[in-house]
Amino acid sequence: MLRDITIGQYYQADSVIHELDPRVKLLGTFAYVISVFIFRNIPGFVLMTLFIGLCIKLSKVPFKYMVKGLKAIVFILLLTGVVNLFLTPGAPVFEWKFIAISKQGIYNTIYMMTRLTYLVIGTSLMTLTTTPTRLTDGMETGLGFLNKFKVPVHEIAMMMSIALRFIPILIEETDKIMKAQMARGADFESGNIIKKAKSMVPLLVPLFVSAWRRAGDLAMAMEARCYNGGEGRTRMKPLRYCRTDYIAYLIMLIYMALMIVLRVIF
Amino acid sequence: MSIIKALKLTHEYIHRDDEGNVDSIETALDGVDLDIAEGDFIAILGHNGSGKSTLAKHMNVILSPSDGTMWVDGKDTKDEDKLWEIRQTAGMVFQNPDNQIIAGIVEEDVGFGPENIGVPTSEIWTRVDNALAAVHMEKYRNHSPNKLSGGQKQRVAIAGVIAMRPKCIILDEPTAMLDPVGRQEVIETITELNKKEGVTVILITHYMEEVVNADKVFVMDHGKIVMQGTPREIFSDIKTLKEHHLDVPQVTLLAHELKEAGLNIPDGVLTEEELLHILCQLS
Amino acid sequence: MSIIVNHVDFVYSEGTNTSQHALKDVNLQIKDGEFLGIIGHTGSGKSTLIQHLNGLLKPASGEIYYNGRDINDKDFSRKELRSKVGLVFQYPEYQLFETTIFEDVCFGPKNQGLAPKDAGLRAFEALRNVKLPKELYYQSPFELSGGQKRRVAIAGVLAMKPEVLILDEPTAGLDPQGRDEILEELARLHREQNMTIILVSHSMEDVAKYVDRLIVMDDGRVAYDGTPREVFKHYEELKKMGLSAPQVTYLMHDLKKRGFDVDEDATTVAEARDTILAYLGKSR
């Protein structure tokens, strides 16, 4: 069911990773994503695995829980695999009728699927260990310099945190409207693509109307509580670096340096 | 001292057609005069569409008068410079508990208001602690609002308003979407706030059982205040209440029917204990 | 003919840390033409139970029979079941989606496979049944008042001509007038068309006034099953389940304790008035 989607949802635990300043985690994730794109050999792979493995271990998020989140991207993963496997040109090692698989193709498939999996695991580790508010706080402070270029950083951050808060509510609502229309004989499953798309109207219109109404209500509630944009706001939980954050930065730096060295040397 | 005062307050919703021409005008408030004393527990009753929610929105300057004046703590709501001061003085709790909680964690949501008005960090924490204690939600401070019951969510919303230290709280049908347990939680919470902290409470509702303990009740219909008085006075006139599409608690109705049948029972019986006592004396 | 719920168990999100045992060995028999009330606090399993009755949820174990046939049998078509057992969800006005009220009410009958003309006739009848003013039929449903929207949504299910109509808190959030209109409408459908009606409600006063039989759900189980008078005898146990009895029930029991020889099981104002008058008349 829809309510089983776990990707991107905060997982409450008491760990070093949870405690880290969100700016550290944002930058760390950024660095990790770069490393996922630059590794190209076994030593790099081993180092990357060690790094992310250690982070997961420290975060106390059960590995099983993370794998469950991967289910959502299985389709994309398989598609990338298939595309790479069959469409990479090169000397074929296997041939059958019009299908040809090259050595390069096998190599690419493994490489791309590993990359994608590691990418999702790494980024979801960040959302699993950081509450939406902390995350947006981190973005707001960390990217504050963009204000100079007239980027409305506070507004974007606020929008993101509200969106994240309302995702579970809207998922539940979708479930409810779907059931209500099914009780009126609606059929969301059978038929061809056009029929299926048409059958979504009774679901999407009420969902849109409801989201619109909620947005109006929320805007009114925020105004009633004196919300007036980012100016003059104070913070209940201001971001302050502590020792672990500096250590984390240091570890990140070493990790990135090693990854680059491994890529250049081998 | 009056905290909220209205003089000939009028509000018109103007509906326009696609070309922007005025299609129809709906008068939601029609010359309302109102005077609410500081520290009172006030109930405003009325069926859906009677204008009670529109009135509430004027107290928090979500709406501005089409005609007439409204003062909150002596400040005219048309004075734009006073907007934030007024909203701080008169906090508002809405009907749908989900659509007024902004943050993903209870304590952060309670801190949202103080953050907006620029309260220093350390004081935000004191205010949040006190506000959560006032609604008895300390245990849930680190929870996600999505995991709370309806009554608990409404208490968080009330705490969010309390943290702004208002003189007055307006609650616009805060119990309409709750089950009986949640409804009781909310009513107990606001009654306690009124008694202990002296906050003026303005409760807008159509549940009659919720108003028996109010200091004063206003009944609205067609954008006007049509009845006002103590709950006992209001509940004495069942006929007029019915004309305004409202009903009374079962015991009030029972007492009324017994009186009609010839028993010597006074008008406006409010509670079960009261009727029990009267019946015991009769026999 | 009837609905039989036989040893039904249901668990939400089975096998995860958020799993929830919502129904535990529920057994029920609902006869044709009954006006049944279901009460229980939030999370007691009452909404889960009614979603089983028209096949939106499937029991983890146990069976549900409609007129002697297992509704989860492969050859019992969903379409047929949902035509016979209509379900009106809580806040049903949020499911409206068509451009006109009339079109929206036609949605159900059209899904049943009726020709547009027949679906239209059904829609007219249903809208008449919920007493919506005729001049509104071709307006957008989004422009109606809350109470009117609710009635249109109920018409949307009525137009499917169900034999059983289930409503999950149809009066939630309505004012006294809106509430009375809908409940009177249901009572009339029950009386005149002998429709089986299952009403889930939080209002003890309402169920006491309208239903013939009352089921109390607590922690996924059926705690009490009987007439409102029988059920509200347990007002002290109900309190422990987070439920109350109608106000007069408390008064009648207190009167009895003070030595009044009255019918302490009275649950409505009319019953209470008559028994009090009878007693006082006698003692004078």
B·C CB contacts under 8 A: 82
In sequence order, what are the beta bridge partners of C9? C61
pLDDT tier for residue B220 given thresholds of 50, 70 and 90: very high
Tell me what the mean pLDDT of segment C247-268 comes to. Answer: 91
In sequence order, what are the beta bridge partners of B26? B13
Residue C122 lies in a domain: yes
Spatial neighbors of C128 by CB under 8 A, at least 6 apart, are none
Spell out the domains of chain B, with CATH numbers in brackets. 2-231 (3.40.50.300)
Given a cut of 50, whether residue B8 has pLDDT beyond it is: yes
Strand B216-221, strand B41-45: pairing = parallel
The pLDDT of residue C77 is: 85
The pLDDT of residue C190 is: 94
Measure CB to CB from residue C202 to each of B179, B258, B272 and give the nearest one: B179
Tokens read off for B125: 């924490």
Residues of B in contact with A226 (CB under 8 A): 84, 87-88, 113, 116-117, 164
Of all residues in chain B, the percent with pLDDT exceeding 70 is 100
Q: Which domain holds residue C121?
A: 2-226
In tens, the pLDDT along B254-278 reads 999 999 998 999 988 999 999 999 9
Tell me what the mean pLDDT of segment C158-181 comes to. Answer: 92
Beta carbons of B253 and C269 less than 8 Å apart: yes
Residue C236 lies in a domain: no
Burial class (CB in 10 A: 0-12, 13-18, 19+), C19: exposed
Q: Give how many domains chain C has, as a whole number.
A: 1
* Count of other CB atoms within 10 angstroms of residue A217: 16
Tokens read off for C94: 């949020």
Beta carbons of B181 and C42 less than 8 Å apart: yes
Residue C147 lies in a domain: yes
The pLDDT of residue A215 is: 93
A·C CB contacts under 8 A: 59
Tell me what the mean pLDDT of segment C248-272 comes to. Answer: 91
Least confident of A189-203, B5-19, B40-54: A189-203
Tell me what the mean pLDDT of segment C111-116 comes to. Answer: 92
pLDDT tier for residue A1 given thresholds of 50, 70 and 90: very low
Beta carbons of C95 and A187 less than 8 Å apart: no
Given a cut of 80, whether residue C88 has pLDDT beyond it is: yes
Residues of C in contact with A176 (CB under 8 A): 89, 94
d(CA C88, CA C47): 11
Question: Is the Cβ of B14 closer than 8 Å to some Cβ of chain A?
Answer: no
Residue with tokens 């959302």: A127
Residue C131 lies in a domain: yes
Per the CB < 8 A criterion, the answer to whether B168 and B60 are in contact is no
Beta carbons of B279 and C243 less than 8 Å apart: no
Question: Is the Cβ of B99 closer than 8 Å to some Cβ of chain A?
Answer: yes
Tell me what the mean pLDDT of segment C156-174 comes to. Answer: 93
Of all residues in chain B, the percent with pLDDT exceeding 90 is 78
Residues of A in contact with C96 (CB under 8 A): 206
Dihedral angle of Cα B130, B136, B138, B144, to the nearest 10 degrees: -120
In tens, the pLDDT along B130-178 reads 999 999 999 999 888 888 999 999 999 999 999 999 999 999 999 998 9
d(CA C79, CA C33): 22
d(CA C152, CA C129): 10
Beta carbons of A184 and C96 less than 8 Å apart: no
Least confident of A92-96, B227-231, C5-9, C271-275: A92-96
Question: Is the Cβ of B133 closer than 8 Å to some Cβ of chain C?
Answer: no
Beta carbons of B180 and C244 less than 8 Å apart: yes
Q: Which helix (H) or strand (E) holds B142?
A: none
**Chain A residue at shortest CA distance from B83:** A226
Read off the CATH number of the domain in which C209 is found: 3.40.50.300
Beta carbons of B101 and A131 less than 8 Å apart: no
d(CA B186, CA B158): 9
d(CA A179, CA A1): 12
Residue C8 lies in a domain: yes
Beta carbons of A186 and C51 less than 8 Å apart: no
Q: Is the dihedral of CA A196, A201, A206, A210 positive or negative?
A: positive
Strand C221-226, strand C213-218: pairing = antiparallel
pLDDT tier for residue B236 given thresholds of 50, 70 and 90: very high
pLDDT tier for residue A192 given thresholds of 50, 70 and 90: confident
Residues of B in contact with C274 (CB under 8 A): none
pLDDT tier for residue C16 given thresholds of 50, 70 and 90: low
* Count of other CB atoms within 10 angstroms of residue A50: 11
Question: Is the Cβ of A221 closer than 8 Å to some Cβ of chain B?
Answer: yes
Tell me what the mean pLDDT of segment A10-36 comes to. Answer: 89
Q: Which of C247, C258, C282 to mutate to test the interface with B (most CBs of B within 10 A)?
A: C247
Which chains sit next to C, with 3 or more Cβ pairs under 8 A? A, B
Beta strands in chain C, from DSSP E residues, in sequence order:
2-12, 20-31, 35-39, 61-66, 69-70, 85-88, 164-168, 196-200, 213-218, 221-226
Residue C241 lies in a domain: no
In tens, the pLDDT along A59-93 reads 888 888 787 777 777 888 888 888 888 877 777 77
The pLDDT of residue C53 is: 94
Beta carbons of B119 and A234 less than 8 Å apart: yes
Residues of A in contact with C107 (CB under 8 A): 184-186, 202
d(CA B131, CA B95): 20
The pLDDT of residue B204 is: 95
The pLDDT of residue C17 is: 64
Residue C257 lies in a domain: no
d(CA C205, CA A213): 32
